[in-house]
Amino acid sequence: MDRQRIQLAYEGTKAFLLSKLSREAFVFLFFVLVSAGFWLLLTLNESYEMDVEVPLQLTNVPKEVVLTSDLPSTLQVRVRDKGSSLLGYYYGDKKRVLTLDFRAYDHGESYHRSIVTHSDVQKRLQSIFDASTHIVSLRPDTLEFFYTRGHMKRVPVVFRGHVQPDALYYLASLQCRPDSVTVWAEDSYLDSLTVVPTVLTNITGLTESMSRTVPLPTIKGVKFEPSEVQLTAEIDVFTEKTVEVPIQATNFPAGLSLRTFPASASVTFRVGAKDYKKITKEQFVITTTYEELLSLPDSMLTLHLRSIPEGVSQARIHPQRVQFLIEQTEE
């Protein structure tokens, strides 16, 4: 059965290929292909413009030289040529790289800014393109790089910005790692440099600890190593705590003492959960002086906290005012 089907298909194909309709179809297709070929040749012979990305390399840099501002990694070059040549730039195997020799721009100084002019760049670019190719424009049109020979300094890093936790949380600690970086630059800049600030960074609404990479600023002629730091913010949740703090008196003459009603006050405050057990009543001080009591118009003393431990916020005293009595003591 399959053999019969194959035979029928063969006979049908053979009959079509030998028919007048088949010959006319092949003739039509031939002329279409010829026309397309002529159109393609005419099109490729026209001039066009296109952008070509050319990698840029700086070679022969001595080991003792540190580039403090690098050249761009690529140049954007707009060229004009026939379509056939431009196709070669798109699909050709030849890799066009613009290579600059550091020795041609080295002035032998300890610190220097070297400029590769527009005409020099264009001249060197023309050598890596076909002779028929015209360079219309290039970006950047002038190149510059800075270098130094061993002029460096280790400088502390400071965070520049603001880290704001959510309402129920607080910032327990904020650190930059590493805490200092190596700076390569000219001597006058290094002599005046005391800290390296990060780029301005604002972070809000934190509810958990976080770590984020923060870059250092980009400055012409200055190289930071590393060029970024890791910012770590530890976030803790607030909780409330109350302690009973005795009311104390100072500068009392001999034979006199202070009695208040009550003898102590409740201090309620906010503290981070991790420091909750560390904060005790002994770390708070509520005190008054003999001279302050004498200046009061009545026997009511307004209480104030004279000392509050680190990490405590929104401390409140209850009661805020107490009655007092200065009494004679037995000597």
CATH number, domain containing residue 255? 2.170.120.30
Kindly state whether residues 87 and 131 are assigned to the same domain.
yes
- For 297, which DSSP code? S
Query: At residue 55, does pLDDT exceed 70?
Result: yes
Q: Assign residue 311 a region: left if phi > 0, alpha if psi is -120 to 50, beta otherwise?
A: left
Kindly state whether residues 189 and 200 are assigned to the same domain.
yes
**How far from 40 is each of 30, 31, 138, 185, 217, CA to CA, in Å?**
15, 14, 29, 56, 52
Q: For residue range 240-264, list pLDDT tens digits in order.
A: 999 999 999 999 998 899 999 999 9
Kindly state whether residues 231 and 187 are assigned to the same domain.
yes
Kindly state whether residues 22 and 111 are assigned to the same domain.
no
pLDDT of residue 2: 61
Weakest mean pLDDT among 128-132, 157-161, 283-287, 295-299: 128-132
The CATH number given to whatever domain includes residue 206 is 2.170.120.40
Query: At residue 24, does pLDDT exceed 70?
Result: no
- Residue that is last in its domain, among 181, 213, 237: 237
Residue 102 pLDDT grade (very low, low, confident, very high; cuts 50, 70, 90): very high
Kindly state whether residues 233 and 246 are assigned to the same domain.
no
- Any idea what the Cα angle at residue 261 is, between residues 260 and 262, rounded to 5°? 105
The CATH number given to whatever domain includes residue 90 is 2.170.120
Kindly state whether residues 231 and 161 are assigned to the same domain.
yes
Query: At residue 108, does pLDDT exceed 70?
Result: yes
Residue 272 CB: number of other CB atoms within 10 A? 21
pLDDT of residue 234: 93
**How far from 299 is each of 4, 172, 245, 316, 318, CA to CA, in Å?**
125, 42, 20, 22, 17
Q: For residue range 297-317, list pLDDT tens digits in order.
A: 999 999 999 999 988 989 999
Kindly state whether residues 59 and 140 are assigned to the same domain.
yes
In the block, tokens 């490729």 appear at 44
Kindly state whether residues 161 and 138 are assigned to the same domain.
no
Weakest mean pLDDT among 26-35, 163-172, 279-288: 26-35
Kindly state whether residues 229 and 247 are assigned to the same domain.
no
Angle between helix 20-44 and 83-91 (nearest 10): 90
Are the C-beta atoms of 183 and 157 separated by less than 8 Å?
Answer: no
Kindly state whether residues 244 and 294 are assigned to the same domain.
yes
Query: At residue 41, does pLDDT exceed 70?
Result: no
Kindly state whether residues 233 and 192 are assigned to the same domain.
yes
Which residue type is seen at 172? A
Containing structural domain, residue 178: 152-237
Mean pLDDT of 124-138: 86
- Residue that is last in its domain, among 203, 237, 271: 237
pLDDT of residue 328: 87
Count of domains for the chain: 4
**How far from 199 is each of 157, 223, 229, 231, 313, CA to CA, in Å?**
11, 15, 11, 12, 30
- Residue that is last in its domain, among 148, 170, 191: 148
Query: At residue 4, does pLDDT exceed 80?
Result: no
Q: For residue range 185-225, list pLDDT tens digits in order.
A: 988 899 999 999 999 999 999 999 999 999 999 999 999 99
Are the C-beta atoms of 317 and 267 separated by less than 8 Å?
Answer: yes
